[in-house]
Chain A
Amino acid sequence: MGKQMTEMLKGTLEGIVLAILAGQPAYGYEITARLREQGFTDIAEGTIYALLVRIEQRGLVDVEKVPSEKGPPRKVYSLNARGRGELDEFWKTWSFLAERIEHLHGDNDTGTGTN
């Protein structure tokens, strides 16, 4: 993954994970797998784990420990009311940013005559 992509994803990954959890509860590995299906192929499982820890600390998700046949219990994360509020906020911010950036993009295109 390119450096620029990594940097840009950093600011949006939390929203992306909240959006995935809005669909249905999941544990860390499932979230990583779903992100990979969506084309985010280079995201490390540990990155998602750290992010889940952070959103848990901020009270955006509820956590249930589900025993597994081998190894420690799996922590299943589900979006709670606060998390849904945060996700709404993320989409609003995203739309605003996307619109402004697209606007700049359009201006630049006119300037350089490309595209």
Chain B
Amino acid sequence: MAAKWIEALTGSLEQKKQYRQYKARIEALPEPYREAAKAFDRYFMYYGGITDGDTLVTMLGDFADLFERAAVDGTPVTDLIGDDPVEFAETFTQSYGGTRWIDKERARLSKAIGDIEKKEQP
């Protein structure tokens, strides 16, 4: 499902290739890193909202780096993520500045309130 979603999203073959590589890297992780990374992967698909394919594949590549590094170093998942996985997932995603679906709504909200401010000024 996620694969179809990203293909609809990104036209670029290079991005598709990078996305497949990312998926393979996650699958290749030893447990429990694999299970943890897949849980985050699922959350990213719901929460991320990044509509720019380049930013998305960069983010996912960095995410795979982080987990591969932790698996090699033997860093426990709890040391890696801390005690709030949702907080981690959201901070991580927000660190990537690509265009998001929410941007359109932010612009709309700012304009709506800006128009009201103009009317209120005598």
- Once A45-B75, A71-B69, A72-B68 are accepted as A-B contacts, the answer to whether A57 and B95 lie under 8 Å apart by CB is yes
Whether A72 and B69, one on each chain, are in contact in the complex, defined by CB atoms closer than 8 angstroms, is yes
Whether B88 and A72, one on each chain, are in contact in the complex, defined by CB atoms closer than 8 angstroms, is no
Q: Which residues in A have their C-beta under 8 angstroms from that of B78?
A: 44
Number of B positions contacting A (CB below 8 A): 24
Interface of A, helix, strand, loop or mixed by DSSP: helix
Contact of B72 among A42, A44, A49, A70 (CB under 8 A): A70
What's the least CB distance linking B65 to chain A, in Å? 5
When C-beta atoms are compared, the residue in chain A nearest to B93 turns out to be A50
Whether A46 and B71, one on each chain, are in contact in the complex, defined by CB atoms closer than 8 angstroms, is no
Whether A45 and B80, one on each chain, are in contact in the complex, defined by CB atoms closer than 8 angstroms, is yes
Q: Using a CB–CB distance below 8 Å, which chain B residues touch chain A?
A: 62, 64-66, 68-73, 75, 78-83, 88, 91-92, 94-97
